[in-house]
Structure 1
Amino acid sequence: MLPDHVDQFQYLIEEIPSVFFVYDLESQRITYVNKAYEQLWNGHREQVNEEFPNLLARLHPDDQEYAADCFSRLAAGRLRENVELRLLTPNEQVQWICVRASSYQPTDAPTSVAGFIDDITVEKAYYQNAEKFNTKKNSTLEILSHDLAGPLRLMQSLTEQLSEQLRTYADPHLHELLRIITTTCRESADLIHDFVDNEFFESSNVELRRERVNLVERVGIMVDNYIRTEKTIALSFSLETSAPAIYASIDENKFLQVLNNLVGNAIKFTPNGGHIRVGLSESPDHVLVTVADNGIGIPVELQAGLFDKFTKARRTGLRGEKSTGLGMSIVQTIVLLHEGRIWFESQPGQGTTFYIELPKGL
């Protein structure tokens, strides 16, 4: 039965493809559901209360605590966001649903919850696939910036040394050729790094699109991209986690760009043969993400202003990589937008570890 104030819209509600429901908190029963319920789950809406426990039993194990928390906040009128949950089909496939609901209390009536449920499985698969390749793209850009720019910086350095040794050799044409090679190498390497930096800067200006993400899965994809290049860039990478699944509410694209930036900086300041470790752990209230290297570390005199815009802490990388001085400032801004905090520990000659603490998503 529909509430009086929405009864006039019953025809429209019956025709929409979204499942519309009304749940009475006092009796703990669904008092109305439209016919889309039958289309989505092949159920019988007149038996919805008998079928509902079986539907709840299909909740993905990782989403059960999260769903309970969301319902508690919904009943108290404190749920403001859409809720995305996974249901397991009888053949163990994942069905994604999006729940948009709110509580209300008509005059002289018990409090009820009403809302819409949509199947977003196709949209979710498309989005996750896009994010997977976006993560790979960002990691690849960081890797290419070292793979491509490194040899150019080396050629630039060798040409500069050759020019110095031939300084007394009276051949203007030869000196001009060496100058062109040096300039071309420097400008080409700068162009590569500028391209990577611009990708990071542009994305930081876009509004956050946060969702509940399994960091172990998504960060694992990023680290795997680096592991595949270990022989190429002469560094090793690893991911250490405290649990098989760790969830947080993040803008996946921006947050993984933050991690790519931190890993990219670690690559810049870690000599060949070094190791870079990404870590994920959780406490009851927070998730801790770490990026650690055993590189040259950050000089003590540069540590205080590391997160400042155009910081004086910017340094040329071990392989000649330039720095704009903006990267760490943007990293901190994105972390703060996620209601998190970032800090680091560093010992010159022993390495650096960055820590990012985020509110935990159930």
Structure 2
Amino acid sequence: MLTPPDLFQHLLEGSRQTFFIYSISAGKVLYLSPSYEKLFPGLLCENVDADLPQLLHWLPVDDQAYARECFVDLASGELRDDLLLRLQPGPDRPLRWLAMQAHRATAADGQELLTGSVQDVTVEQEYLRNADLYMAKKNTTLEILSHDLAGPFNMLRQLADFLEEKTQALNDPQVQNMIRVMQDTCRDSVNLIRDFVDGEFMGSASVELKRTRVDLAAELRQVMETYQKNEYLVAKWFSFETSRPSIYVEIDHNKFLQVINNLLSNAIKFTGEGGRIAVSLEQRAEHVLVAVADDGIGIPEQLHPVLFDRFTKARRPGLRGEKTTGLGMHLIHTIVQLHNGRIWFDSQEHKGTTFYIELPTAPGA
């Protein structure tokens, strides 16, 4: 029968994860499980101390400062769960994802240690990121289609209203009933489309945040490209600007992009045909600033203080009769706050509205 130390050694050496013990005091690795050599083919356990600079060099440039800052946090005792790092051993080698868990400990002889594990999670991350990509495109497409489909129904309802007015003199109950059916069908269809899109947003907003380090510039660029490709459907012009090609934040990818989609949806509702909607992203010293601006009808000044209230009195139909639940802005405000950010706006009637979102920068940004 295996004794407990033998049993733990057997478990460590048989695991897919690579376990390590690093002495902060001595600046060297005290223990490394054999799976290290499978995780990094061509490297040997006995050479790990000499290989550490090479491993850091394999991180993409965007991740190297991030990794250093995270290791400093770990060494100072701050815990980090599932630290994700990208790794690319060479220009012709595929990008890999590594998940590391570590914590600080003190040995019996007083040495300060980092103990933990590293595991290749490339397959899982590729799956999750493809799912995130699908979700982002799905939400953007739903917003575009909801406005595109609502337009014809609203036009038919206006025609039905016109027919009702013109046929009142006929005093024909059958004609009037048919017109009311047309009006109700158009109204219910528009509401059904909006309810579906709003339900998608509200349902996901109630789920706990799961933050990851995200290149927000790349994500917003992708969202705006979808809107730009479909400008003709909503009769608006879309633009995007960023102060840097890559800007990193730690956010819940799906929820934050839904916030952006919801702000863009509101901009579409309250901006006339041919109007302009612009999204910008700026890296600042301790935070990033996202702005969503339109040149639409603006928000009346008396509604400014209550815009983010739950079931706010500031809710009003869009220019084409789009309904609103009054929950959208409240949920946006809640999600931004959960990200330790803040949101505010500037608006004047007939001159447009700009929403600003401030988020903390990610480590190493």
TM-score (norm 2): 0.96
Name 1:40's counterpart in structure 2. Answer: 39
For residues 1-362 of structure 1, what are the structure 2 equivalents within 5 Å? 9-42=8-41, 43-90=43-90, 91-362=92-363
Structure 2: gaps spanning 5 or more residues: none
> CA–CA distance in 2 between the matches of 1:65 and 1:333?
31
Structure 1: gaps spanning 5 or more residues: none
> CA–CA distance in 1 between the matches of 2:340 and 2:93?
35
SS in 2 for 1:167: helix
SS in 2 for 1:50: helix
| Distance 1:217-1:299 versus aligned 2 partners, 3 A rule | same
| Distance 1:78-1:6 versus aligned 2 partners, 3 A rule | farther
> CA–CA distance in 1 between the matches of 2:157 and 2:169?
20
> CA–CA distance in 2 between the matches of 1:313 and 1:253?
26
How far does residue 270 in structure 1 lie from its aligned partner after superposition?
Answer: 0.4
Aligned residue identity for 2:192: L
CA contact (8 A) 1:132 1:221 kept: no
1:309-353 superposed Cα distances (whole Å, 9 cap, x missing partner): 111111110011011111000110111111111000001111100
CA contact (8 A) 1:70 1:79 kept: no
> CA–CA distance in 1 between the matches of 2:123 and 2:228?
30
> CA–CA distance in 1 between the matches of 2:134 and 2:274?
28
Deviates more, 1:127-136 or 1:220-229: 220-229
SS in 2 for 1:70: helix
1:208-262 superposed Cα distances (whole Å, 9 cap, x missing partner): 1111111011111111111111112110111110101111111111110010000
How far does residue 137 in structure 1 lie from its aligned partner after superposition?
Answer: 0.5
CA contact (8 A) 2:106 2:112 kept: yes
How far does residue 171 in structure 1 lie from its aligned partner after superposition?
Answer: 2.2
How far does residue 39 in structure 1 lie from its aligned partner after superposition?
Answer: 0.6
CA contact (8 A) 2:18 2:33 kept: yes
> CA–CA distance in 2 between the matches of 1:104 and 1:218?
38
How far does residue 116 in structure 1 lie from its aligned partner after superposition?
Answer: 0.5
CA contact (8 A) 2:99 2:120 kept: yes
SS in 1 for 2:213: strand
SS in 2 for 1:189: helix
How far does residue 8 in structure 1 lie from its aligned partner after superposition?
Answer: 6.1
Deviates more, 1:101-110 or 1:63-72: 101-110
1:44-99 superposed Cα distances (whole Å, 9 cap, x missing partner): 11111222221111011111111111111100111233211111122242111111
SS in 2 for 1:168: helix
> CA–CA distance in 1 between the matches of 2:89 and 2:127?
19
TM-score (norm 1): 0.96
Q: How high is the sequence identity, in percent, across the aligned residues?
A: 48
> CA–CA distance in 2 between the matches of 1:14 and 1:56?
24
Aligned residue identity for 2:206: N
Deviates more, 1:340-349 or 1:108-117: 108-117
> CA–CA distance in 2 between the matches of 1:167 and 1:103?
81
Matched length: 358
